């Protein structure tokens, strides 16, 4: 009995020790909406620090997790107040869409790649939409450009989605539910359904004139509640608009004890 108790105690200590090594983003709290579950994570918990960014999302019909969602039109990320993106830190990919659709990330400088991930969904039979033509899963590369995150989805060629980084730090991704998307971005027929999406952007820093600059930097302060909040808004072809908030843990400065005189 004594040996068993000791083994349990040692196992508890081991798990506690390992938990200190797990990435801070693992403690983030996902958000859920009528048609989505979203988890946005930061690799840094300290304010005003370079950070990587993780994102996972899954989508379904409202009230039915086993049915597919509507077609998605648009997705906008609203980061916590004070978070900063500096697109002058990485190299920039200036290739036009027609080149990116053929060459993908090979058309960009190596230093412009921010990260990557996967995307999964359904291609319905065009026009009739009567059956699933293909259940796809593709790899994704994310590259940098001036005030843009460019998402390159590898299929037969590459689908190009340009997320515009606005002055307030929000990132606006217009989405097309067809492939290849027309130049206007408006599909004549919607037939591509998004089910799941994941991405991971590693911390990206560059030293210039003795100063470390970062692509993504956490806000300067950690709120009293102990976490930052990212809101993601989704626009659907059925007219619905969903807003989902995720929570990223942050560290507050320790209070110093006052000396008694």
pLDDT value at residue 27: 54
Question: What is the Cβ-side half-sphere exposure of residue 122, based on CA atoms within 13 angstroms?
Answer: 20
Could you state, in order of their start, the residue ranges of all structural domains in the chain? 22-249
Residues in the chain: 261
Q: Give the pLDDT confidence score for residue 21 in this predicted structure.
A: 34
pLDDT at 240: 96
Q: Quick one: pLDDT band at residue 18, thresholds 50, 70, 90?
A: very low
Task: List pLDDT tens digits, range 196-232.
Answer: 999 999 999 999 888 999 999 999 999 999 999 999 9
Residue with the two structure tokens 């004139």: 209
Contact 149, 93 (CB under 8 A): no
Q: Which residues contact 26 (CB under 8 A, 6 or more apart)?
A: 41
pLDDT computed for residue 259 by the predictor: 58
Q: What is the pLDDT of residue 133?
A: 81
Distance CA 36, CA 234 (A): 9
Alpha-carbon 139 to chain mean position? 14
Q: What is the DSSP letter of 169?
A: S
* Average pLDDT of span 165-194: 85
Report the DSSP beta bridge partners of residue 201: 53, 115
pLDDT-derived band at 258 (thresholds 50, 70, 90) equals low
Q: Are 207 and 235 in contact (CB under 8 A)?
A: no
| Residue 14 pLDDT exceeds 50 | no
Task: Read off the tokens for 55.
Answer: 């994102």
Looking at per-residue confidence, does 77 or 252 come out higher? 77
CB 92 within 8 A of CB 86: no
What is the pLDDT at residue 6? 38
Q: Kindly tell me if the per-residue pLDDT of 181 is higher than 80.
A: no
CA nearest to 114, candidates 61, 168, 165: 165
Mean pLDDT calculated for residue range 104-122: 97
Quick check: 95 pLDDT over 90?
yes
- Residue 23 pLDDT class (50, 70, 90 cuts): very low
d(C-alpha 56, C-alpha 37), whole Å: 8
In angstroms, the Cα distances linking 184 to 74, 154, 176 are 14, 21, 10
- Quick: pLDDT tens for 41-84: 999 999 999 999 999 999 999 989 999 999 999 999 999 999 99
> Does 35 score more than 80 pLDDT?
yes
pLDDT reported for residue 2 = 40
Count of beta carbons in the 10 Å neighbourhood of residue 115: 18
| pLDDT at site 255 | 67
- 8: pLDDT strictly greater than 50: no
pTM of full prediction above 0.95: no
Q: Is it the case that residue 256 has pLDDT exceeding 60?
A: no
Mode of pairing for the β-strands spanning 31-32 and 158-165: unpaired
What average pLDDT score do residues 111-116 get?
98
Distances (CA, A) of 163 to 37, 160, 190, 249: 21, 10, 20, 25
Mean pLDDT, the chain, as a whole number?
86
Q: Determine what percent of the chain is predicted with pLDDT higher than 70.
A: 85
């Amino acid at each position: 009995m004594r040996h068993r108790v000791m083994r349990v105690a040692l196992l508890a200590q081991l798990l506690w020790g390992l938990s200190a090594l797990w990435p801070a983003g693992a403690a983030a709290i996902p958000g859920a909406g009528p048609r989505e579950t979203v988890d946005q994570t930061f690799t840094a918990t300290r304010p005003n620090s370079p950070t990587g960014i993780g994102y996972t999302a899954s989508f379904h019909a409202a009230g039915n997790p086993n049915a597919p969602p509507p077609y998605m039109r648009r997705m906008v990320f609203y980061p916590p107040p004070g978070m900063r993106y500096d697109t002058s830190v990485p190299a920039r990919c200036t290739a036009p869409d027609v080149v990116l659709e053929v060459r993908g990330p090979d058309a960009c400088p190596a230093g412009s790649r921010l990260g990557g991930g996967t995307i999964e969904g359904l291609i319905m039979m065009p026009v009739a939409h009567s059956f699933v033509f293909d259940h796809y899963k593709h790899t994704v590369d994310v590259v940098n450009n001036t005030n843009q995150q460019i998402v390159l989805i590898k299929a037969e060629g590459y689908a190009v989605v340009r997320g515009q980084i606005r002055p307030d730090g929000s990132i606006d991704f217009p989405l097309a539910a067809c492939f290849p998307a027309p130049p206007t971005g408006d599909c004549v027929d919607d037939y591509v359904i998004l089910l799941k999406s994941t991405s991971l952007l590693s911390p990206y820093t560059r030293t210039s004139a003795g100063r470390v600059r970062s692509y993504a930097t956490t806000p300067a302060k950690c709120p009293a509640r102990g976490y930052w909040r990212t809101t993601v808004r989704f626009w659907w072809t059925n007219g619905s608009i969903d807003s989902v908030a995720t929570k990223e843990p942050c560290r507050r400065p320790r209070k110093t004890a006052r000396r008694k005189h």
